A and B are shown apart, each in its own frame.
Chain A
Amino acid sequence: MMESGGKILVRFKKRWQLMLWIEILLYALGLAIFIYFLFFKLIFSIITLILGIVLLTVFIKPWKPGLKKVSSYIDQHLDVAEYSTGLLLLPENQLSGLAKLQQHKVTKQLVEKINTIKPPSHLLRGSVIMMLFISIGFLIHQFHIVDYIQWSQHLEVQPEKIIFKSKDSTTTTQRPKLESQLLTIQYPAYTNKPSLKTSKMEVKAVEGSRLSWKIKFDTKIKSATMESMGNSYPMKLTDNGYIRTSILNASGFYNFKFTDMKGTSYASDLYSIEVVKDKSPDIKVTDLKQFTTFSYDESKRITFTTSVTDDFGIAEAYIIATVSKGSGESVKFREEKLNFDSKVLRGRKNLNLSKNIDLDQMNMEPGDELYFYIEALDLKRPKPNISRSETFFAVIKDTISDEFAVEGTMGVDQMPDYFRSQRQLIIDTEKLIKDKSKLSKKEFNFKSNELGFDQKVLRLKYGEFMGDESEFGPATHENTEVLAETDEHEDEHEDEDHEEKDPLAAYTHDHDNENEHNLVDHKEEKDGEKSNDPLHEYLHNHDDPEESTLFTQSLKSKLRQALNEMWDAELYLRLYTPEKSLPYQYKALKLIQEIKNSARVYVHRIGFDPPPIKEDKRLTGKIDEVSNFRKIEELQLPEIYPSIYKTILRLEQLISNKTLITAEDKLIFEKAGNELATKAIEDPGKYLKTLQQLKRITEDRVISSSILTEVQRGLFYALPELKSNPFKKKVLTSEINELLLKELQIHD
C-alpha cells in the first residue's frame, strides 16, 4: 500500500509537469501564429516558436515540481491528507508504528480523493492568451495595419532642405538661411483629394492642380524668383515669406533663386514637375458580340452589361444608338441617345451598368440596322475626358433581300416578268415537307410536281440569261397544260424535256459532266466555224449562246452550275421527294446570290477611263523629247544630340587626365544640358539627377571626378540606340594575303 501511495504522488507530479509543458506550448504557439500573420514567413514563426519555448521553459521551469513540492501541495489542498503525505515518501522501516498507521490511512484516502484536486496550472490563461495573439494577428493582417504603419513611416521621411549655392564662391559673408519651405498641392475639386502639404519639392500631381510654394528666410533678402523652363517668375513677398502659385499643366523643371541684400545671388538645385494626366474612363462591354443578327420573327432584344471605370470618378455614361433604314441611296439615319437601365451614379469610380435594348421599340423593321456605342465622361473640368466603346451592330435580317436583280450594268433590262424566286421555292418546299402528314398523297404529289414546274420555269428564265433557247413556249401556256396533266403525263413530260440531250440525264448524277461535255462539243464546233469565218474576229456573234456577252466567263460558268443544280432540284421534286431536292435548291440559291454579288462588284470595278491616244502618236518609238533626268539631294539625317556625344567624350578625357574644366567645356555642357532637358521632359524621373549634376558642373564649382563619372553615365544612358549602318572597313592587305588569294583563284 505504501508503494501505491508513492506512485500516486509520482503520477501527480508527472501530471503537473505535463500541464506546465502544455502551458508553455500554448504561449509559444500563440506568439508564433501572431508573427506569421505579421510577416507571412513560416521560417520566422518557427524561429519564434522555438525561441518562445526555450525562454518560457527557462522562466516557468516545468521540471521544478518535485515530490516534496507535490506532497506539500497536496497537504495544503487536500484536507484528508492531514499534512501527512510526506510520510508516503519515507521507507516503511524508518517509520514508527503510529506513522505507519497514518501512512496507511493517508494512502487510502489519497487513492480515493486524489482526482478531486488538480495541479496548479494556468492552462486556461494560456489558451486565452494564445487566442488573443491569434485574433490580434488576424486583425492586423485583415486591415493591412502593417502596410499602413510602413506607409506612414515612409511619409515621415522628410526630404532635406533646399540647398542654395551662391553663384559667386568668393563671398564669405553670412548667407541668408532658409527657414522653411512648403509646397501645397491643391488637387482639382473634382478629384475629391485633399490638398497636400509637403516640404518635398519634387512635384507629381494631377493636371490642373494648383501648386503654391512658400519659402521663408531668416534674414531679409532682396528678391526671390522661381526659374522654370527658361522663364523666371518673381515670388511675392508676404508676411510668411515668399510665395508663388501656379496651375499645373505641363511637366518640366524648376529651381529657386534669390539675391541677398548685398547682391549675391544664390540658386537651388533643379526639381522636377511631373504631370499626371487624368485618364479617360475605361469602358468594357463584356457579354455582347460585335454583330448580332435577328430574324424578323425572333424576339429582338439585346442585353448587355458594361463596366465603366475612371481614376477620379465618372460623370456620365450613356448609349448613342443609330438606326439605319433602307439601303443604297435611300438610306436614312436616326440617332438616339439611350440611358442605361441602371442609374449612373455621378462621381463613382467604378460602375456596372446594364441595358436591355428592344429593337421593336426602336421602330425597327426587317432590313434595318442598329449601330450603337457607349460613351462615358469623367469629372474633369473644364473639359471632361470622353471615351467611347467600339461600335456594336444589330441587324434584323431582311426577308426579301435575296431577290435576284440584275444591275444597271446591262444595256437592256432583261429582268424577267415574273417567276417564283429560288428562295420562295425553298420556302414552299420546306412548307410542303412540313405539311406532308396533313396532306393526302395525291395532294402532296401534285404540290411537289407543281413546285418542280416552278423550278423548271426558273431554270428556263435563268437559261435565257445564258443565251439558252427556251425549249418551250411561254410559261403561262405551259402552266395551264401542266394543271391538267396526270402523273403519267408528267413523266412523259419529263422525258420530253431531256430527250434532246440524253434521256437518262435527269436521273443520273453525272448531269454536270454531261452538260460540260456539251459545252466542249459546242466549242469545238465553234472553233471550226472560226477558222472558216475570216470575219469572226470582228463580229459580235450573238447567235452562239456560249458567246453571249451578257456575263463574264466566270459568271457564265457559275450560272451554268446553278442551272445544273436546278435541274437536279426539279428532278427530285418531280419524283415527289422534295427532301432530296432541297440541298440542290440551296446550292442553286447560293450560286445565284454569288452571281448577284459579283455583278455588283463588277460595277465598282469600272474606274479610270483613259483619254484616247492619237493614233499617229502611238508606238512611234520617238524619244527625242525624253531627256536624261538629274537630281542632287542631301538626304543625310542631322545628328541627334551632338553636344551630348561631345560631352561624353570630353568627360572621359577630364576623368582620365584629371584636368580642369574650361569655359569652352562649359559651353558644351550647357548645350548638352539643353538637349537632355528636351528628352528629360518626357521622363523627368530618369534624367533629373543627371540634369541637376550637369547644371552643377556648368557652374563654377569644384567638381569631384565621381560626379563627372555619374554625369557621364547618365548621359550615356540617354543616348539613343544606333541604327545599323554599313561603313568602310579598314583592312591591311599584306602581300602574303594577296598571294594566297591569287593561288586560291588559280586552283579554283
Chain B
Amino acid sequence: MIDQITFLNESWIWQIGIGAVVLWFVFGWKEWPQFGKRRFWVKIAIAFFAISSLAIIALKPAISATNNTATKMVLLTEGYNKEQLDSLRKIHKKLKKYKYKANHPIFDNINTPDSVFILGYGVKPYDLWQLDDHNVNYLGRNTPTGVVRFKYNYKNTVGEHQIFTGLYAKPQNGNKLVLEGPGGAGLDSVSLVAEEQQKFQLTTNLNVKGNYLFSLVEKDSLGKTLSTDPIPLVVKDPTPLKIVVVNGFPTFETKYLKNYLAEMGHQVLVRSQITKGRYKFEYFNMERTPMGAFSKKNLESFDLVIIDANSFKNLGRKSRSALENSVKENGLGVFIQPDPNFFRSSKGFGAFDFISEKKTEIRLDDPEKIKLSKYAFVLKDKFQLQHIHTKSNTKIISGYKHIGKGRIGTTVLENTYELVLEGNTDAYQQIWSKLINSISSKETLSVEWGVASIIAYKDHPFKFDVRTSISKPIIKTNKKYNVSIRKDIDLLNLWKGVTHPRDFGWNTQFLEQDTTKIFEYFVADTSHWRSQTLYKTIEENKRYYKKSLKKEAIQNHTVRPIPLLSFYLLFLFCTGYLWLEPKLLKP
C-alpha cells in the first residue's frame, strides 16, 4: 500500500526533507537544556509530528489507485442514443454522466475518470486532444442520413465540365437531389433510391466567371425543398493557348483546326511550306514573330506544337533536339498529325507503337456516337501511354506520353474536318479541345491553395494547406491578421495552417509575398452540410480512438491526492501543545 503513495511535489522531496530534519535538530538544540527529562522526549516527538505534517502538506501526498475500483464516465455528445445510455448504466452502476460542450474542457484536472464512454456522433475533432490520456470507448452511432461525402473542384475555369460526386447515406425513395446554379437555376438532378448508400454524380458546364454559390437541394417527390446546401465555386476565365502549327503542305485538316482555334481566341502561328525554302506564315491573334527552325528560344512562349508526321521526321538535327529539350524542360506539348508512313516509323523521340486493324471508321465513346474516319491502326497500349480518346476502353484512338515535363501525343483519326462539313461542329470541337487540352503545356502555379472541406464555418477552425515555391510564406487574412502555418516534414513546398473565419460569406486570405494569389473560401453557418460534418466527426473519432487504444495498458491507474486537512489539524495540535505546554508548567 505504501508504495502506492506518491507525492505530487515529488521534485521538492530532498529540499523539504533536509529542511524538515534541520528544523527538527534546531528544535532539539533549542530544547537541549531539558535533556534527559521526560518532557524533553515528549516535546521532541511532538515536534517531529508537527514538522513532518508540515513537510507532508508541502509535498502533497497522493494515492495512485488501480483502475478496477476507479470511476467510469460517459460522455454524451450530440445525437446520443438514450437506450444505449440506459443499457450502459445497467452494466456500470456508478457511471458518471457528462454532457459534452464543444470547445470546453471535458475533465476537471483532479477528478479524472479512467475510462470514458462516448455516445453520439462524437467529440469535435478539435477537442479530441482532451481525451489523449484516457481510455476511451467510442460506442458511436450510425451514419446520419444525408449527403455524407461531396467532392468537386472548387476552383475551375469557364467552359470546363464541372463534376460533383458524392455519397448519400440512407436515401429516401422518391427524393431528388438537384444541383442549382446561380439564382437557383436547375442544372442537373439525381433521383434517390432506397438503399444503404447511394453514389451520385452531378455535372454542369460552367459558363460564367466569378465567385458563385451553387447549391445542392434535396427535394421530396412533391417538389418540396427539404434542405439546401451551398456549393461555393470559383470560376476563372480561361487562359488562351499559344500554338504553333508546322505543316509540310497546306491541308484541310490544318485549315479547319486553325480556324477553330483562332476563333476560340487562341494565339496560333501556322507555318506551311509552299516550296523548297519558302513558307507561308499565318499569325492569328498574335504579333508577327519569326519562326524558322525550332530553337529553344522561339519555342519558349508556345504551349503546343502541332506538326505533321512528315515534317516531324524531316526535322533538322538542331531543330529536333531543341524541340525535345523544350518538351523535357519547359513542358511543351507536341501533337503529331499522322500520315500513313507514321505508323511504321521507328523508335526514339515521338515514336508510338501501333496495331494495324481493318476498320477505318470508328465511333468514340462519346454521347453523340458520331462516325469518324481513321487510319487502319490503333495505338498500342503501353506502360507510358496515357489515353485521350478510347473506343470502349480497349482501343486507344488518341494518346500521349510524358516526356520530362512535357507531353507528346498523336491520334489515328483522319480527316476530322469532315465533321465540320457535315455540320457536327460540336463533335469536332469536343474532339480537338480534349486532344489539345491533354497535350498542351500546363501553367505551373507558384501558389496553390488546398482545403480539406468544401465549406468553412464561422468561428470554427478551418484547415487549409498551401503549396508554394516561396521559401518562407506569410499568410494574411483580408483583415490583415497573420495566420501561422507549419511546414510539412516530407514535402518541402507544402505548408499547413488553420484559420478561424470571423465573417459569413466569401472570405479571403493571401500570401504577403504575392498578393495576387488570393485564396477565397466560403463561410457558412453550421446548419449547412450537417450530415457531412457529422459523418466526418464520426470518422475522425473512430480513427482517433483506434490510435489511442494502444495506450490502454500504460494508463491503467490514476493518482488521487490525499486530503490534507488532517495534517493541518495535526500540525495545529502539535504546535498548539508546544506553545501551550511551557505556559502551563511555568507557574
Contacts and interface: CB of A to CB of B under 8 A. Distances in A.
A79 interface: no
B278 A627 contact: yes
A672 interface: no
Contacts of B505: 656-657
A631 to B, nearest CB: 5
Interface in B401-416: 402-405
Nearest to B212: A652
A726 to B, nearest CB: 4
Nearest to B279: A628
Contact of B493 (A653, A716, A735): A735
A633 B283 contact: yes
A124 interface: no
B340 interface: no
B576 interface: no
Interface stretch (B6-14, B316-324, B427-435): B427-435
A631 B279 CA distance: 11
Given A637-B265, A657-B505, A734-B493, A748 B277 contact: no
B404 A741 contact: yes
Contacts of A735: 492-493
Interface in B249-268: 259, 261-266
A711 B183 contact: yes
Contact of B405 (A636, A709, A738): A738
Nearest to B270: A631
A732 B183 contact: no
Interface string A648-660: 1101110011000
Interface stretch (B72-80, B113-121, B441-449): B441-449
A629 interface: yes
Contact of A731 (B281, B443, B494): B443
Contacts of B426: 723-724
Given A648-B208, A722-B207, A729 B442 contact: yes
Contact of B183 (A653, A713, A728): A713
Given A726-B437, A732-B444, A630 B283 contact: yes
A632 B288 contact: yes
B208 A729 contact: no
Interface string B298-317: 00000100000000000000
Contacts of B434: 724, 726
A728 B263 contact: no
A6 interface: no
Given A716-B182, A724-B430, A626 B274 contact: yes
Contact of A730 (B282, B440, B442): B442
Given A717-B185, A722-B159, A629 B283 contact: no
B174 interface: no
A653 B281 CA distance: 45
Contacts of A717: 185
A742 B240 CA distance: 29
Contacts of B238: 725, 727-728
Interface in A482-536: none
Contacts of B282: 630-633
Nearest to A728: B239
Contact of B284 (A628, A635, A731): A635
B72 to A, nearest CB: 47
Contact of A636 (B262, B383, B430): B262
B142 interface: no
Contacts of A619: none
Contact of B241 (A631, A716, A727, A738): A727
Contacts of A48: none
Contacts of B557: none
A633 B284 contact: yes
Contacts of A652: 182, 210-213
B559 interface: no
A367 interface: no
A725 B467 contact: no
Of the candidates B286, B384, B430, B443, the one having the most CB atoms from chain A within 10 angstroms of its own CB is: B443
Given A629-B280, A635-B285, A732-B445, A709 B184 contact: yes
Contacts of A657: 505
A724 B284 contact: no
Given A626-B274, A656-B506, A714-B183, A727 B437 contact: yes
Contacts of A631: 280-283
B109 interface: no
Given A630-B281, A741-B402, A725 B433 contact: yes
Contacts of B205: 721-722
A725 B264 contact: yes
Nearest to B288: A632
B204 to A, nearest CB: 11
A734 B468 CA distance: 9
The listed residue with most B CB atoms (<10 A of its CB), out of A634, A636, A745, is: A636
Interface string A163-185: 00000000000000000000000
A455 interface: no
A98 to B, nearest CB: 79
Interface string A598-640: 0000000000000000000000000100111111111111000
A710 interface: yes
B158 interface: yes
Residue among A631, A633, A657, A732 with the most chain B CB within 10 A? A732
A658 to B, nearest CB: 9
Contacts of A722: 158-159, 205, 207
A54 interface: no
A633 B280 CA distance: 14
A728 B208 contact: no
B264 A651 contact: no
A725 B159 contact: yes
B583 interface: no
Nearest to B209: A649
Nearest to B506: A656
A704 interface: no
A337 B521 CA distance: 77
Interface string B152-176: 0000011110000000000000000
Given A649-B208, A730-B442, A630 B429 contact: no
Given A635-B285, A719-B207, A726-B436, A713 B185 contact: yes
A635 B260 CA distance: 9
Given A729-B442, A731-B442, A724 B183 contact: no
Given A722-B207, A727-B241, A729-B437, A656 B284 contact: no
A627 B276 CA distance: 10
A642 to B, nearest CB: 11
Interface string A81-113: 000000000000000000000000000000000
A108 B294 CA distance: 132
Contacts of A296: none
A8 to B, nearest CB: 62
Nearest to A623: B275
Contacts of B159: 722-725, 727
A730 to B, nearest CB: 5
Nearest to A734: B493
A570 B434 CA distance: 69
30 contacts: A627-B278, A628-B274, A628-B280, A628-B281, A629-B274, A629-B281, A630-B283, A631-B280, A631-B283, A632-B283, A634-B284, A637-B264, A709-B183, A709-B184, A717-B185, A719-B208, A721-B207, A722-B205, A723-B429, A726-B266, A726-B434, A727-B240, A727-B241, A728-B443, A729-B157, A731-B444, A732-B444, A732-B467, A736-B491, A744-B384
Given A648-B208, A648-B210, 20 more contacts: A623-B278, A628-B278, A629-B279, A631-B283, A632-B286, A649-B208, A651-B182, A651-B183, A652-B212, A652-B213, A711-B183, A714-B183, A715-B183, A727-B159, A727-B238, A728-B241, A731-B445, A734-B494, A741-B404, A748-B383
Interface of B: 157-160, 181-185, 205, 207-213, 238-241, 259, 261-266, 274-288, 303, 383-384, 402-405, 426, 429-430, 432-437, 440-445, 448, 467, 491-494, 505-506
